[in-house]
Amino acid sequence: MESMLKAPVMNLLKIGHEKLLSNSAFKFNLRRYTVAVPEDRAVTLQLRGASADGTEAVTFQVATLPSGGELYDVDATGAVGAEVTAVPTDLTAAAVRYVPNADAAGIPFDVFKYRAKSAAGAFSYKTGVVVSITALDDPPSAVAVAVAATRAAAARVTLTATQPAGETAAGPALNYSVTRLPARGTLYKAAGTSVRRCRLARSNPLDSAWN
């Protein structure tokens, strides 16, 4: 979570049409956003809006919360502040940090809304930020194995790994590689129930692939 909060700011990939949003006593120009980000990547969004004639400063307020992630206040220096947990919430500046739930993906995936406020307290209508998340191929995790061997008999070691949730059934077959050779023994490739006398010499690259 901390790494996602500190990740670099991403640019908005798509910006929808600008829409004039009005109030009985005040008019605003706000922009409705669509943003696309990779899985498990946070994004900082600049909320742009102004009075219709551009002469009066406005502030921003989170109007609805996202359902598939978290929002954080971002100040004028870009520092990430407190999580926005209730609405409406006034923002320190004109930016928020969106952090999606782990392993979440979908096009579109999530939406939250914000609105502008004049110095006199007039509010614009709400406008939305639509977030799409592109799924990534999460890496498997190798499982540690312990075996017992004797001087008279070699030990057969079965290499195993776990797939991330949701990718086990449809994921591709796993290949394994040796990253470090044993200090007091010799490794041989094995297939099925037979051992292939193909010795991995210590001069071989440490990442020799087992196909």
Least confident among 11-15, 52-56, 164-168: 11-15
Measured in degrees and rounded to the nearest 5, phi and psi for residue 133 equal: -125, 125
154 and 195 housed in the same domain: yes
Whether the per-residue pLDDT at 17 is higher than 70: the answer is no
Question: Which residue range is the domain that position 116 belongs to?
Answer: 2-134
127 and 151 housed in the same domain: no
Residues written for the chain: 211
118 and 176 housed in the same domain: no
Last residue of some domain: 134, 149, 177? 134
Last residue of some domain: 80, 100, 134? 134
125 and 189 housed in the same domain: no
Q: What is the pTM of this model?
A: 0.64
66 and 124 housed in the same domain: yes
Position with higher pLDDT, 189 vs 171: 189
Segment (H or E) for 27: strand 27-38
Whether the per-residue pLDDT at 143 is higher than 90: the answer is no
Position with higher pLDDT, 2 vs 182: 182
CA distance 7 to 51: 32
Strands (E), 54-208: 58-64, 69-74, 80-84, 89-90, 95-100, 106-118, 127-134, 141-142, 161-162, 176-177, 188-191, 194-199
165 and 194 housed in the same domain: yes
What is the share, in percent, of the chain residues with pLDDT greater than 70? 72
Exposed e or buried b per residue across 45-59, where buried means at least 16 C-beta atoms within 10 angstroms of its C-beta:
bebbbebeeeeeebe
Last residue of some domain: 112, 134, 156? 134
Whether the per-residue pLDDT at 99 is higher than 90: the answer is yes
Count of domains forming the chain: 2
